Copies of this chain bind each other. A is one copy, B any other.
């Protein structure tokens, strides 16, 4: 994965402000699942965080991470499935050198490349301090000695002085010592006024600290969070803030409102003063931070998408350049299936592509699918007894009335909105669409809706449509498609493997032309992975939908029948210059 200091320096060079987020490992498995969803909602924003911190757990979580502590496991999942760069906290005051070495080895083997090196809180009575590490600087030195330049190391800075260090100058010199020992950047503890931070940065510069320093922002999220502020600041919350909050302490919404206002103003001052980026202590909440980021216009920046899909930050997938379109609404499943692949892109998707797709174990750990609540789903999907009822569910999803389908858990994309009316017509008529893209004939790579890749390029798409289709419609549909010769490439398959296609090899459906580069073709349609996807897509009828109804119920029987008889169909319109005609063709079969 990327070294954060490189990402920060790139942003500084480009003069683009950024933000990062900090979370802590929840104590329960449910909490961990919820945390993933919350982080993922940030990840899919137009302007995702530059990196995400996960604090070092003091223990007690009930998830089953692969490391000796929940933190490394969470960090790994966030990298793999939220596709975000992480910063793993690590404390050393109760650990031996051997223990720390093992943790760092695990980190290295799992593409974790960024460490926030901390001494750690004073131990409770039950634990003993280690002799191996006394100060944070000892950990920084140890990491550099043992792992050279592999890790990007960050350290904490204390604008109001460290609780254990009475004299401010000593405090600054300790920080400089950590930087000299190899720290790449500094994240500050919380502060209450922009001026406090900016003054402290000046002091840091005065003693010769030259690396980037990020301000740590702890927004007031409720009355209870003031307690955290007291603890973390080391100096107590200023009287002025307490005075403002006191009168509204029972009005949660008002406090949040106040927190957003205060933090927004502080962030604006910091950015105006040239601060390169903002680090938010989220306390595992999202609403307040999201609102502050919106106020700061982080969401209105140009989309910067390397590819139409998102690549996990790991070094391993650095060369990944091609994906089948099928998983575009279930990209975490695709990442999980291809986790063990090591040759991207051509080894897998070239002439002799023989992809071996792995199972979904890790993915299931991440999503905890079994924890789906049947009642919530019934609220969305009802108790369908006819295929018309099923059509209504698909239509409601497109209309935004229900939040997800078994195949799609994210909002429909802006580009899908372009063809929404056509999709509505089809779904009403019983073509249940689960994936689509409109044709694009050379849009700028910076286009907000369909752009991706470096600037100065042009991107293209062939229209693609994927849907479930009743067996009765297969023959007439095939007959019409064949009339059009090479205009369309199609694949029809059912559970039993009855397969109709005119596609022999992988074909590109999204590609881009850029200065100084070969043609990039990040999304393909291919017969090999389609068969893997078919199993997954059909299985979701049962595992996600039929399973919420009791055995013998009409809904379960209906869905099982669909699972057993319907075809999964996809169609590519090779004419990306003129208006797409897939929709008209499908309607032709309805009308006949």
Contacts and interface: CB of A to CB of B under 8 A. Distances in A.
Interface in A342-360: 346, 349-351
Copy count, this protein chain: 2
Interface string A531-575: 000000000000000000000000000000000000000000010
Contacts of A576: 513
B486 A503 contact: no
Contact of A489 (B346, B455, B489, B515): B515
A508 B518 contact: yes
A152 to B, nearest CB: 24
A283 B309 CA distance: 62
Contacts of A487: 456, 515
Contact of A517 (B505, B514, B515): B505
Contacts of A350: 346
A521 interface: yes
A519 B515 contact: no
A401 interface: no
Contacts of A507: 515-518
Interface string A329-373: 000000000000000001001110000000000000000000000
A186 to B, nearest CB: 33
B319 A351 contact: yes
A574 B515 contact: yes
A307 interface: no
A516 B527 CA distance: 11
Nearest to A504: B516
A346 to B, nearest CB: 5
A513 B518 CA distance: 14
Contacts of A460: 513
A173 interface: no
A502 interface: yes
A524 interface: yes
A352 to B, nearest CB: 10
Contacts of A577: 442, 458
A511 interface: yes
Contacts of A319: 351
